[in-house]
Amino acid sequence: MWTYEKRLQYPVKITQTNPKIAQIIISQYGGPDGELGASMRYLSQRYTTPYKEVAGLLTDVGTEELAHLEMICAIVYQLTKDLSPEEIQRSGFDKYYVDHTLGVYPQAAGGTAWTATYIQSKGDPITDLHEDLAAEQKARTTYDNILRMVKDPEVCDPIRFLREREIVHYQRFGECLRIIQDNLDSENFYAFNPSFDK
Amino acid sequence: MSNYRSNDMYRQQYAQNAYMQQPVSTPCYDRGDPLENMTIAMAYVPWQQWRQIYEPAKGFHRGTIFKELDKPFVGKRGGR
Amino acid sequence: MNNQPNRKEMLNMINEISFAVLETQLYLDTHPCSTEALAYFEECSQIRNQALKEYAKYYGPLTIDTATSACNDRWSWINDPWPWQEGGC
């Protein structure tokens, strides 16, 4: 089960509102390659993994991603705090505002609500780990894209942190895949599904 | 279509090699493979070792305690 | 007054050492036999646990397990600031 620590993993202190970039950054909350998807993906995959190292890593990274989505929400919250109706209208944030006011809602930058169709939990360790490796790269690219759009150093700082975490996770998932390979016959890795076949 | 383009590249390389008097036994680039002993039809990420650990304060700001995993976004070619 | 440590500095230290603990934790998940990582984890965890208790004493709990370290007659877990607020960190 989960406990909560009353701090962000990395500080978010944004003093200047900017609803335009809030609209972009929200994709890392509820978008196709965002932290919510990452968390649900890893936490869903862990149940049927037959290897304890992989179960441990999926649990721990899945938990860390919850801390990341909290940071993204804090960024969006601070970027849109106390906006006036005029500021909302001017920035194009009005489309979001009409449905959510200043509430933080899991959606992509384009407005699509988060959906489990963004993730897969295939129940086969080799397949799931390839999904996870891809997910970390997609998240990293999304952060690259955000860093090109954002100039405010107060925003860039936590974003850079989150981007670096994706690279570290990629390495860990790569090691999980090696562990899975070590437990299979290299003559044919695909002879059976170690999570299902007897 | 793409075969046509890559043959063109090899022809250019072949021509350049010939101009610079480098071995031109084959027009294709003989890449060699550091993974040649690994089973094919599978992906492999190398194992990380415990080394080059940042102090906690530095690690925290870089987003990793491992110097070897510290790979920042530069946003243009030629940078590291 | 007394030797009350600065809140921001304490929290910053907790953030840094907690991050070292987490990084080592993830490394150990895939390298469970690494003696260096195990030793580093031990070292950092001790510092972290001590710091969390210390913080709770002066500034209220960051974890439910340290909620008793805060000596007062009100439920301090719900006090401001929350992490997403300015200054909440």
Q: Which chains touch C (3 or more CB pairs under 8 A)?
A: A, B
Domain boundaries, chain A: 19-182
Flag whether pLDDT at C84 surpasses 90: yes
ipTM: 0.96
Query: Which tens digit of pLDDT belongs to each residue from A76-129?
Result: 999 999 999 999 999 999 999 999 999 999 999 999 999 999 999 999 999 999
Q: Which of residues 149-188 of A touch B (CB under 8 A)?
A: 160-165, 167-168, 170-171, 173-175, 177-178, 181, 186-187
Residues of B in contact with A143 (CB under 8 A): 73
Residue of B nearest to A126 (CA): B42
Flag whether pLDDT at B1 surpasses 50: no
Total tally of structural domains belonging to chain B: 1
* 3-class SS of residue A107: strand
Query: Which tens digit of pLDDT belongs to each residue from B33-69?
Result: 999 999 999 999 999 999 999 999 999 999 999 999 9
DSSP A131: H
In b/e form, how buried is each residue of C34-49, taking b as 16+ CB within 10 angstroms? beebeebbeebbebbe
Split at pLDDT 50, 70, 90, the class of C74 is: confident
Residue of A nearest to B67 (CA): A168
> What integer is the mean pLDDT of A143-165?
98
Give the integer Cα–Cα distance in Å for B66 and B55: 10
Handedness of CA A4, A10, A11, A17 (dihedral sign): negative
Flag whether pLDDT at B2 surpasses 60: no
In chain A, helix, strand, coil percent, each to 5? 65, 0, 35
Decide if domain A19-182 falls under CATH 3.20.130.10.
no
In b/e form, how buried is each residue of B5-36, taking b as 16+ CB within 10 angstroms? eeeeeeeeebeeeeeeeeeeeeeeeeeeeeee
CB contact under 8 A, C16 and B57: yes
Least trusted range by pLDDT, from A97-111, A149-163, C75-89: C75-89
Give the integer Cα–Cα distance in Å for A31 and A20: 16
Split at pLDDT 50, 70, 90, the class of B29 is: confident
Flag whether pLDDT at A40 surpasses 60: yes
Q: Is A189 on the interface with B (CB under 8 A)?
A: yes
Least trusted range by pLDDT, from A185-189, B39-43, B75-79: B75-79
Nearest to B45 among A144, A174, A186 (CB): A174
Residue of C nearest to A180 (CA): C30
Q: Which of B37, B40, B42, B44 to mutate to test the interface with A (most CBs of A within 10 A)?
A: B42
Q: Has residue B75 been placed in a domain?
A: no
Give the integer Cα–Cα distance in Å for A173 and A132: 7
Q: Which of A197, A176, A138, A164 is nearest to A45 (CA)?
A: A176
Flag whether pLDDT at C88 surpasses 60: no
CB contact under 8 A, C30 and A179: yes
Split at pLDDT 50, 70, 90, the class of C19 is: very high
pLDDT of residue C3: 74
Q: Has residue B56 been placed in a domain?
A: yes
For A107, list phi and psi in degrees, rounded to 5: -145, 170
Q: Is B62 on the interface with C (CB under 8 A)?
A: no
pLDDT of residue C68: 83
Give the integer Cα–Cα distance in Å for B17 and B64: 43
Give the integer Cα–Cα distance in Å for A51 and A40: 19
DSSP B22: -
Nearest to C86 among A53, A78, A175 (CB): A78
Amino acid found at C44 = C
pLDDT of residue A170: 98
Residues 6+ apart with CB under 8 A from C59: C7, C10, C11
pLDDT of residue B78: 87
Helix A125-149 / helix A52-79 crossing angle, nearest 10 deg: 20
CB contact under 8 A, B56 and C19: yes
Percent of chain A with pLDDT over 70: 100
Q: Has residue B35 been placed in a domain?
A: yes
Flag whether pLDDT at B3 surpasses 50: no
pLDDT of residue A152: 97
Give the integer Cα–Cα distance in Å for C51 and C14: 6
pLDDT of residue A61: 98
Q: Has residue B76 been placed in a domain?
A: no
Flag whether pLDDT at B4 surpasses 70: no
Give the integer Cα–Cα distance in Å for B61 and B64: 8
Nearest to C83 among A74, A169, A172 (CB): A74
Residue of A nearest to C78 (CA): A6
CB contact under 8 A, C20 and B66: no
CB B56 within 8 A of CB C17: yes
